[in-house]
Structures are given as C-alpha cells and as structure tokens.
A and B are shown apart, each in its own frame.
Chain A
C-alpha cells in the first residue's frame, strides 16, 4: 500500500501534479522522437540532410523543453517532495558514475563488451525511480 501511494505521489497539491504531468508528457515525446529517429535511421530513411537537421532539431527542442518543465516543477514543488526528488537525482548520478567507472575497468581489460549509452540511461532512470519511491516511503 505504501509503495503504491509512493508511486502515485498521493497527496501532492494539484499544482505539483499538473507540473509533473507536463514533465511526463515532455519525457514521453522526447522518448518517442528518439525512437522514431532511430527507426528512420536504421531503415536508411534519413538520407536527406534537411530531414536529419529537422529530426535533430525537433528531438533537441523537446529535450530542452523537458528540462525547463522539470526545473519549473522543482521550483514550485512542495519542499519535502523537492528533497525526495533531489536525493533521487543525486543517487542516480552517483550510481551512474560509479557503475560507468567500474565497468570501464572491465571494458579496458576486454572482459566485457563496450558499454552502450542506452544501458547507462536505463540505469540512471531506474535508480532515479527507486530513489523517489524509497524517499517517499521513508518520510511517510
């Protein structure tokens, strides 16, 4: 029950939920444009230089909009929830740096294959989600 309440961010003011939804929408669009551009690129449908520029610009602009929306969300956020968010961000960055650093030792020794950036993004995202749930549970 506590975990479900933590995932749903139950009890946050409407303003914060509205801002969070805006961030989520931007994140969804950002991931969608990345998937579409990857699909087009893999199927060699991005031969035109203008098309590459267009796809690049759309993806980057949505990414910047996502960052701005997240900053706005953090600034207006309830102070305890802001602490939870910042702790989760710190945890995800720390885990990513340590994992990347440790993996690079194995990679240099040719024990493991080269690290894909996508794995690092997934690791950061998962750690961030775990950090938020852990933070919300610990303050309830």
Chain B
C-alpha cells in the first residue's frame, strides 16, 4: 500500500523517531510503513489520520483500487 507518510512527516520536520513516539510504535514500524513494506492496522491508520488531521484516503492509497480505475 502506497502512502504519503514520509512527505507529511518531512513537512512537519519530524524524524521517524518523533512520529514513532507520537503514534506509540517503534521507529522500525514507521520506517517499514514509509517504505511500503508493512501495511498498518486500521486503528493505527486512523491514529495517523487524526495526527495529521486528514482523511485516511488522503494519506494511504489502495493500490488495488488504483489498478481497477
């Protein structure tokens, strides 16, 4: 699953460790999500959306849906 996490984080001058602390996960998890190696759970995705004050769809992109369209 593609996402804009890295861009949004950089816009706020946050490090991966900063974001990890805010989301209460490990830095490795943030790194894996940004690289698209790990898809976050729905509760974590909602937490990310709340933190950036954006809808989930504006942060995470379902690649299957993109392929269908």
On chain B, the residues within 8 Å of A140 by CB distance are 28, 31-32
Q: Does A43 contact B (CB under 8 A)?
A: no
- Tell me the count of chain A residues lying within 8 A, CB to CB, of chain B: 14
Nearest CB of A to B17, in Å: 9
On chain A, the residues within 8 Å of B64 by CB distance are none
Do B37 and A79 have beta carbons less than 8 Å apart? no
> CA–CA, A12 to B17, complex, Å?
11
List the interface of chain B (C-beta within 8 A of A): 24-29, 31-32, 37-38, 40-41, 44
Query: CB < 8 Å: which of B24, B25, B38, B40 contacts A139?
Result: B38
On chain B, the residues within 8 Å of A13 by CB distance are 24, 26
> CA–CA, A58 to B38, complex, Å?
41
Q: Does A36 contact B (CB under 8 A)?
A: no
Do A139 and B41 have beta carbons less than 8 Å apart? no
Residue of A nearest to B33 (CB): A80
Do B25 and A79 have beta carbons less than 8 Å apart? yes
Of B24, B28, B31, B32, chain A has the most CB atoms within 10 Å of the CB of B28
Q: Does A78 contact B (CB under 8 A)?
A: yes
Query: CB < 8 Å: which of A12, A79, A136, A138 contacts B40?
Result: A79
Nearest CB of B to A57, in Å: 38
> CA–CA, A91 to B27, complex, Å?
26
On chain A, the residues within 8 Å of B31 by CB distance are 140
Residue of B nearest to A83 (CB): B38
* 8 A–B contacts, CB within 8 A, in A order: A11-B28, A13-B26, A78-B26, A80-B25, A81-B26, A83-B38, A139-B32, A139-B38
Do B37 and A11 have beta carbons less than 8 Å apart? no
Residue of A nearest to B43 (CB): A79
Nearest CB of B to A119, in Å: 34
Do A12 and B37 have beta carbons less than 8 Å apart? no
Do B41 and A79 have beta carbons less than 8 Å apart? yes
On chain B, the residues within 8 Å of A16 by CB distance are 26
